[in-house]
Each structure stands twice: as structure tokens, then as C-alpha cells.
Structure 1
């Protein structure tokens, strides 16, 4: 659906587009808002990502986009650039554009 500027968008997680990535980086990602799903929305995306205990995301960068993680449960650690961060529920981590990052679910 194309986005009409000035109108709100309300979406539930069940309406998102989901996929489960294969090993070695097993996780379930659901895209909720994105320029690919709602053309005209702007240069951002939001979604959810569930990483099973013991799993991790791949080390990667987004040259032109920031990434924000909000942790809702479990424990983990994040590598953002050269920084190691212990993560837990209620925490938010901001990664600037062009900075490498990776998340590990430790339980």
C-alpha cells in the first residue's frame, strides 16, 4: 500500500512480513514499516527480530541508515563498532550509519 503523506499508519505485528533466516544466523525478522512495504513513507524501517538463545545476527553495516535495537526480554551482548555492550530488557542501543554491529543472545 502506498503511503499518503499526513496520514497515520497503524499496523500490528501479525500484518508484518516475516522470515526466518537459516544457520549460522538463526532469527525471525518481521518487517512492519518500510519503503518497500509502504512506498513514500520515507527512509526508515521498523520491525521486530527474535533471536533464539545461543544465536546471533551477522556482523554488518548499513552505509546510509542508523539501526536502533530495543530489547524486550532475555540477556545478550552487542558489538557496535569497537564497543561491547551487555544488553537486557528495557535497554535501547543506537547504531549510527556506517558503523558495524552484531547482536548475540546469551540467554
Structure 2
């Protein structure tokens, strides 16, 4: 999706930030039917990941304002999740014949 590409280009994540983004997205259990134990594990790994990212920002990347960079990373994660949800919604609409296969928005989404 073009918006996601533009957001990624603008943010320009380091390798560490990209891996953190993948891990945060993997551990996103919101709106899922999982037990308390899974939520505790998710919270633990998210805390470990964010603390490690903070250490990286303060040392090797020497980012003086790590809170801003971390906020941008979290916004990027939300953008990725929303774009993924939109793709799923469009596919469901198409499957139930709410949208025809030749719908412009659906066609654009399928080309990416």
C-alpha cells in the first residue's frame, strides 16, 4: 500500500528498529481471544523489547531524543496494523459480494 511505503521511507528504520517493529506487530494480541497467560507473556516481551530499544537509542544510535523516535516507531506500527486490517476488510467485502472483483479500491490494493 503506497501510504505504508511512504511512511517507511520517511521513518527510515534501522535494522534494530525494523526487527522491533516486526516483533511488536507479532506480539500485538489486541482484539484476539487469548488467555491471561498469553497477555502476560506479551507484556513481558514488549517491555523487554522497548527497554532494549531504549538502550540502543541511548548508546549506539546516539539519538538524543529517543522518546520522539520511539513515538514515531509506535505510530508506524499502528499504520502497518491499520493497513493490514483494511486489506482484510476489502477481501471479506469481496468474498460476500459487497464489492465486485473489478472495484477500483480493491484492484489497487491487489496490485501492491
TM-score, scaled relative to structure 2: 0.25
Bigger helix fraction: 2
Q: Normalising by the residue count of structure 1, what TM-score does the alignment of the two structures yield?
A: 0.26
The one of the two structures with greater contact order (alpha-carbon pairs below 8 A, sep at least 6) is: 2
